[in-house]
Amino acid sequence: MSGPAASKRPRSNGATGWLLSAPALILLAIAATGPLFIVILYSFLEKGDYSGVRWILSGDAWFRVFFEKDIFDGTVSLADANLAIIWRSVKLSLATTIITFGLGLPTAWFIATRPATQRAFWLFLITIPFWTNLLIRTFAIMEVIRNQGLLNTFLLHYGVISEPIQILYTDTAVLIGMAYVYLPLMVLPLFAAIDRFDFKLIEAGYDLYATRIKVLRRVILPIIRPGIVAGCILVFIPSLGAYVTPRVLGGGKNMMIGNFIELQFGQGQNWPLGAALSTMLLIIVLGSLVVYMRVSAREEPHG
Protein backbone atom coordinates (compact mmCIF):
# COMPACT_ATOMS: atom_id res chain seq x y z
CA MET A 1 0.00 0.00 0.00
CA SER A 2 1.33 3.44 -0.87
CA GLY A 3 0.14 6.98 -0.73
CA PRO A 4 -1.34 9.04 2.14
CA ALA A 5 -2.82 6.03 3.95
CA ALA A 6 0.59 4.36 4.28
CA SER A 7 2.24 7.53 5.55
CA LYS A 8 -0.43 8.05 8.21
CA ARG A 9 -0.25 4.53 9.64
CA PRO A 10 3.01 4.89 11.63
CA ARG A 11 1.77 8.11 13.20
CA SER A 12 -1.52 6.44 14.10
CA ASN A 13 0.29 3.50 15.70
CA GLY A 14 2.55 5.86 17.63
CA ALA A 15 -0.40 7.86 18.95
CA THR A 16 -2.20 4.67 19.96
CA GLY A 17 0.89 3.49 21.84
CA TRP A 18 1.11 6.74 23.78
CA LEU A 19 -2.59 6.58 24.65
CA LEU A 20 -2.28 3.00 25.88
CA SER A 21 0.73 3.83 28.04
CA ALA A 22 -0.67 7.14 29.29
CA PRO A 23 -2.31 5.71 32.49
CA ALA A 24 0.91 3.99 33.54
CA LEU A 25 3.00 7.06 32.71
CA ILE A 26 0.65 9.34 34.67
CA LEU A 27 0.70 7.01 37.67
CA LEU A 28 4.49 6.76 37.49
CA ALA A 29 4.84 10.54 37.26
CA ILE A 30 2.57 11.10 40.26
CA ALA A 31 4.24 8.38 42.34
CA ALA A 32 7.74 9.60 41.47
CA THR A 33 7.34 13.36 41.52
CA GLY A 34 4.55 13.68 44.10
CA PRO A 35 6.59 12.72 47.20
CA LEU A 36 9.58 14.64 45.87
CA PHE A 37 7.46 17.78 45.43
CA ILE A 38 6.15 17.41 49.00
CA VAL A 39 9.68 17.12 50.41
CA ILE A 40 10.86 20.19 48.50
CA LEU A 41 7.77 22.13 49.61
CA TYR A 42 8.27 21.15 53.25
CA SER A 43 11.83 22.47 53.13
CA PHE A 44 10.45 25.99 52.57
CA LEU A 45 7.90 25.88 55.40
CA GLU A 46 8.15 26.65 59.09
CA LYS A 47 8.60 24.03 61.79
CA GLY A 48 5.46 22.97 63.63
CA ASP A 49 5.10 23.47 67.38
CA TYR A 50 5.40 19.76 68.16
CA SER A 51 5.76 18.02 64.82
CA GLY A 52 4.91 18.50 61.19
CA VAL A 53 4.98 21.92 59.56
CA ARG A 54 3.18 25.22 59.59
CA TRP A 55 2.03 26.42 56.19
CA ILE A 56 4.07 29.61 56.27
CA LEU A 57 6.79 30.09 53.68
CA SER A 58 10.22 30.37 55.26
CA GLY A 59 13.85 29.79 54.36
CA ASP A 60 14.84 29.04 57.95
CA ALA A 61 15.35 25.32 57.29
CA TRP A 62 17.86 26.00 54.52
CA PHE A 63 19.55 28.59 56.70
CA ARG A 64 19.88 26.05 59.53
CA VAL A 65 21.52 23.53 57.21
CA PHE A 66 24.64 25.71 56.94
CA PHE A 67 24.35 28.25 59.75
CA GLU A 68 23.19 28.52 63.35
CA LYS A 69 22.10 31.51 65.40
CA ASP A 70 23.02 32.01 69.04
CA ILE A 71 19.90 32.04 71.22
CA PHE A 72 21.30 34.77 73.48
CA ASP A 73 22.93 37.42 71.31
CA GLY A 74 21.68 36.33 67.88
CA THR A 75 25.13 36.01 66.33
CA VAL A 76 25.36 33.80 63.26
CA SER A 77 28.03 31.13 62.85
CA LEU A 78 28.58 28.06 60.74
CA ALA A 79 26.61 24.96 61.76
CA ASP A 80 29.70 22.93 62.53
CA ALA A 81 27.79 19.79 63.51
CA ASN A 82 25.72 19.76 60.31
CA LEU A 83 28.69 20.49 58.08
CA ALA A 84 30.74 17.81 59.84
CA ILE A 85 28.03 15.23 59.15
CA ILE A 86 27.76 16.30 55.50
CA TRP A 87 31.54 16.22 55.08
CA ARG A 88 31.76 12.80 56.76
CA SER A 89 29.10 11.46 54.39
CA VAL A 90 30.87 12.76 51.28
CA LYS A 91 34.29 11.68 52.57
CA LEU A 92 33.21 8.14 53.44
CA SER A 93 31.29 7.79 50.18
CA LEU A 94 34.32 8.85 48.14
CA ALA A 95 36.59 6.56 50.18
CA THR A 96 34.14 3.68 49.68
CA THR A 97 34.13 4.34 45.93
CA ILE A 98 37.94 4.36 45.78
CA ILE A 99 38.29 1.19 47.85
CA THR A 100 35.66 -0.72 45.88
CA PHE A 101 37.34 0.37 42.64
CA GLY A 102 40.73 -0.78 43.90
CA LEU A 103 39.29 -4.17 44.85
CA GLY A 104 36.75 -4.41 42.04
CA LEU A 105 39.06 -3.82 39.08
CA PRO A 106 41.37 -6.81 39.74
CA THR A 107 38.33 -8.95 40.59
CA ALA A 108 36.50 -8.00 37.39
CA TRP A 109 39.68 -8.49 35.35
CA PHE A 110 40.17 -11.95 36.87
CA ILE A 111 36.60 -12.97 36.02
CA ALA A 112 36.74 -11.54 32.49
CA THR A 113 39.96 -13.41 31.71
CA ARG A 114 38.63 -16.81 32.81
CA PRO A 115 37.45 -19.29 30.19
CA ALA A 116 33.92 -18.61 29.00
CA THR A 117 32.63 -21.74 30.72
CA GLN A 118 33.87 -20.52 34.14
CA ARG A 119 32.73 -16.89 34.08
CA ALA A 120 29.15 -17.68 35.04
CA PHE A 121 30.37 -19.45 38.18
CA TRP A 122 32.53 -16.51 39.30
CA LEU A 123 29.73 -14.02 38.60
CA PHE A 124 27.45 -16.27 40.61
CA LEU A 125 29.80 -15.95 43.58
CA ILE A 126 29.85 -12.16 43.22
CA THR A 127 26.03 -11.94 43.29
CA ILE A 128 25.59 -14.23 46.33
CA PRO A 129 25.66 -11.29 48.82
CA PHE A 130 22.58 -9.84 47.10
CA TRP A 131 20.65 -12.89 48.28
CA THR A 132 21.09 -11.81 51.89
CA ASN A 133 19.36 -8.92 53.61
CA LEU A 134 21.49 -5.78 54.01
CA LEU A 135 20.97 -5.76 57.78
CA ILE A 136 22.20 -9.36 58.09
CA ARG A 137 25.31 -8.57 56.04
CA THR A 138 26.01 -5.56 58.24
CA PHE A 139 25.71 -7.63 61.41
CA ALA A 140 28.05 -10.19 59.84
CA ILE A 141 30.69 -7.50 59.37
CA MET A 142 30.14 -6.37 62.96
CA GLU A 143 30.90 -9.90 64.18
CA VAL A 144 34.20 -9.75 62.31
CA ILE A 145 35.47 -6.35 63.50
CA ARG A 146 34.11 -6.08 67.05
CA ASN A 147 36.51 -6.32 70.00
CA GLN A 148 35.81 -10.03 70.51
CA GLY A 149 35.27 -10.67 66.82
CA LEU A 150 37.13 -12.86 64.36
CA LEU A 151 39.73 -10.26 63.40
CA ASN A 152 40.82 -9.34 66.93
CA THR A 153 40.69 -12.97 68.07
CA PHE A 154 42.96 -14.00 65.21
CA LEU A 155 45.46 -11.19 65.84
CA LEU A 156 45.51 -11.84 69.59
CA HIS A 157 45.98 -15.57 69.09
CA TYR A 158 49.09 -15.10 66.95
CA GLY A 159 50.50 -12.33 69.13
CA VAL A 160 50.25 -9.58 66.53
CA ILE A 161 48.50 -7.30 69.05
CA SER A 162 48.41 -7.29 72.85
CA GLU A 163 44.89 -5.93 73.24
CA PRO A 164 41.83 -5.72 70.94
CA ILE A 165 41.78 -2.95 68.35
CA GLN A 166 38.78 -0.66 68.70
CA ILE A 167 37.31 -0.65 65.20
CA LEU A 168 33.60 -0.86 65.88
CA TYR A 169 31.69 2.44 66.23
CA THR A 170 34.28 4.39 64.25
CA ASP A 171 34.45 5.83 60.74
CA THR A 172 36.73 2.94 59.83
CA ALA A 173 34.02 0.44 60.74
CA VAL A 174 31.47 2.30 58.62
CA LEU A 175 33.94 2.42 55.72
CA ILE A 176 34.66 -1.32 55.94
CA GLY A 177 30.96 -2.12 56.08
CA MET A 178 30.02 0.04 53.11
CA ALA A 179 32.93 -1.25 51.03
CA TYR A 180 31.80 -4.82 51.69
CA VAL A 181 28.14 -4.07 50.97
CA TYR A 182 28.66 -2.12 47.72
CA LEU A 183 31.63 -3.99 46.24
CA PRO A 184 29.45 -6.10 43.86
CA LEU A 185 27.98 -2.89 42.42
CA MET A 186 31.48 -1.95 41.30
CA VAL A 187 32.54 -5.37 40.05
CA LEU A 188 29.60 -5.98 37.71
CA PRO A 189 29.91 -2.80 35.55
CA LEU A 190 33.68 -3.24 35.39
CA PHE A 191 33.25 -6.84 34.26
CA ALA A 192 30.79 -5.77 31.56
CA ALA A 193 33.33 -3.23 30.24
CA ILE A 194 36.33 -5.57 30.43
CA ASP A 195 34.38 -8.43 28.84
CA ARG A 196 34.09 -6.33 25.64
CA PHE A 197 37.76 -5.37 25.75
CA ASP A 198 39.95 -6.45 22.81
CA PHE A 199 43.00 -8.00 24.44
CA LYS A 200 44.95 -7.71 21.20
CA LEU A 201 45.40 -4.03 22.09
CA ILE A 202 47.51 -5.08 25.08
CA GLU A 203 49.76 -7.13 22.83
CA ALA A 204 50.07 -4.16 20.49
CA GLY A 205 51.09 -1.96 23.41
CA TYR A 206 53.80 -4.42 24.45
CA ASP A 207 55.01 -4.64 20.85
CA LEU A 208 55.48 -0.87 20.96
CA TYR A 209 57.67 -1.28 24.08
CA ALA A 210 55.11 0.10 26.52
CA THR A 211 55.49 -0.91 30.15
CA ARG A 212 52.71 -2.55 32.12
CA ILE A 213 51.88 0.75 33.82
CA LYS A 214 51.67 2.58 30.49
CA VAL A 215 49.46 -0.14 29.01
CA LEU A 216 47.15 0.13 32.00
CA ARG A 217 47.09 3.94 31.90
CA ARG A 218 47.04 4.51 28.12
CA VAL A 219 45.15 1.48 26.83
CA ILE A 220 43.07 -0.37 29.41
CA LEU A 221 41.67 2.43 31.59
CA PRO A 222 40.56 4.73 28.73
CA ILE A 223 38.70 1.90 27.00
CA ILE A 224 36.90 0.62 30.11
CA ARG A 225 36.19 4.17 31.35
CA PRO A 226 32.39 3.87 30.87
CA GLY A 227 32.35 0.86 33.19
CA ILE A 228 34.51 2.71 35.72
CA VAL A 229 32.19 5.72 35.73
CA ALA A 230 29.09 3.54 35.96
CA GLY A 231 30.53 1.56 38.86
CA CYS A 232 31.59 4.71 40.71
CA ILE A 233 28.11 6.19 40.35
CA LEU A 234 26.44 2.95 41.47
CA VAL A 235 28.62 2.88 44.60
CA PHE A 236 28.82 6.59 45.44
CA ILE A 237 25.09 7.36 45.29
CA PRO A 238 23.78 4.62 47.63
CA SER A 239 26.72 4.99 50.02
CA LEU A 240 26.06 8.73 50.29
CA GLY A 241 22.54 8.09 51.54
CA ALA A 242 23.35 4.93 53.50
CA TYR A 243 21.37 4.47 56.70
CA VAL A 244 21.60 0.89 57.99
CA THR A 245 25.37 0.41 57.83
CA PRO A 246 26.31 3.71 59.58
CA ARG A 247 23.55 3.12 62.13
CA VAL A 248 24.78 -0.35 63.10
CA LEU A 249 28.54 0.01 62.70
CA GLY A 250 28.72 3.68 63.68
CA GLY A 251 26.63 3.17 66.80
CA GLY A 252 24.84 6.50 66.44
CA LYS A 253 28.02 8.44 67.20
CA ASN A 254 29.38 8.52 63.66
CA MET A 255 26.19 9.26 61.79
CA MET A 256 25.94 10.14 58.14
CA ILE A 257 23.47 12.35 56.38
CA GLY A 258 20.91 9.54 56.04
CA ASN A 259 20.88 9.04 59.82
CA PHE A 260 20.75 12.80 60.35
CA ILE A 261 17.69 13.10 58.11
CA GLU A 262 15.93 10.29 60.00
CA LEU A 263 16.77 12.04 63.27
CA GLN A 264 15.11 15.25 62.13
CA PHE A 265 11.91 13.50 61.07
CA GLY A 266 11.94 11.36 64.22
CA GLN A 267 13.26 12.54 67.55
CA GLY A 268 14.12 16.05 66.37
CA GLN A 269 10.60 16.71 65.06
CA ASN A 270 12.03 19.26 62.65
CA TRP A 271 10.46 18.27 59.37
CA PRO A 272 11.53 21.34 57.36
CA LEU A 273 15.19 20.80 58.28
CA GLY A 274 14.92 17.10 57.41
CA ALA A 275 13.29 18.01 54.09
CA ALA A 276 16.03 20.55 53.34
CA LEU A 277 18.71 17.97 54.08
CA SER A 278 16.90 15.44 51.87
CA THR A 279 16.70 17.96 49.03
CA MET A 280 20.38 18.80 49.39
CA LEU A 281 21.20 15.10 49.23
CA LEU A 282 19.13 14.88 46.06
CA ILE A 283 21.06 17.81 44.56
CA ILE A 284 24.37 16.06 45.27
CA VAL A 285 23.07 12.87 43.65
CA LEU A 286 21.78 14.76 40.60
CA GLY A 287 25.17 16.44 40.29
CA SER A 288 26.84 13.03 40.26
CA LEU A 289 24.44 11.80 37.58
CA VAL A 290 25.11 14.89 35.45
CA VAL A 291 28.82 14.13 35.62
CA TYR A 292 28.09 10.54 34.59
CA MET A 293 25.95 11.63 31.62
CA ARG A 294 28.56 14.12 30.45
CA VAL A 295 31.30 11.49 30.56
CA SER A 296 29.04 8.98 28.78
CA ALA A 297 28.17 11.54 26.10
CA ARG A 298 31.85 12.28 25.59
CA GLU A 299 32.62 8.57 25.26
CA GLU A 300 29.70 7.95 22.86
CA PRO A 301 29.16 11.18 20.90
CA HIS A 302 26.82 9.45 18.46
CA GLY A 303 24.54 8.02 21.13
Per-residue pLDDT tens digits for 3-54: 555 545 555 566 777 788 888 888 888 888 888 899 999 999 999 888 789 9
User: Do 26 and 160 share a structural domain?
Assistant: no
User: Do 112 and 243 share a structural domain?
Assistant: yes
User: Do 263 and 210 share a structural domain?
Assistant: yes
Give residue 45's Cα distance to chain centre: 29
User: Do 91 and 24 share a structural domain?
Assistant: no
User: Do 186 and 69 share a structural domain?
Assistant: no
Who contacts 102 (Cβ-Cβ below 8 Å, separation ≥6)? none
User: Do 172 and 68 share a structural domain?
Assistant: no
User: In this predicted structure, what is the pLDDT of residue 20?
Assistant: 81
Average pLDDT, the chain: 87
User: Do 146 and 66 share a structural domain?
Assistant: no
Q: How many domains does the chain contain in total? A: 2
User: In this predicted structure, what is the pLDDT of residue 213?
Assistant: 92
Q: With contact defined as beta carbons under 8 Å apart, do 42 and 52 qualify?
A: no
User: Do 278 and 224 share a structural domain?
Assistant: yes
Q: Of 77, 108, 135, which residue is a domain's last?
A: 77
**In this structure, what CATH number is given to the domain that contains residue 260?**
1.10.3720.10
| C-alpha distances in Å from residue 29, one per residue of 22, 35, 97 | 10, 10, 31
Q: Of 24, 52, 77, which residue is a domain's last?
A: 77
Q: Are strands 67-69 and 76-78 parallel, antiparallel or unpaired?
A: antiparallel
Q: Of 49, 77, 105, which residue is a domain's last?
A: 77
User: Do 113 and 11 share a structural domain?
Assistant: no
Nearest to 146 by CA among 165, 160, 161, 162: 165
User: Do 172 and 28 share a structural domain?
Assistant: no
pTM equals 0.85
**For the segment 193-222, what is each residue's pLDDT rounded down to a tens digit?**
999 988 899 999 988 888 889 999 999 999
Range of the domain at 38: 4-77
Who contacts 164 (Cβ-Cβ below 8 Å, separation ≥6)? 147, 148, 152, 156
User: Do 161 and 260 share a structural domain?
Assistant: yes
User: Do 61 and 101 share a structural domain?
Assistant: no
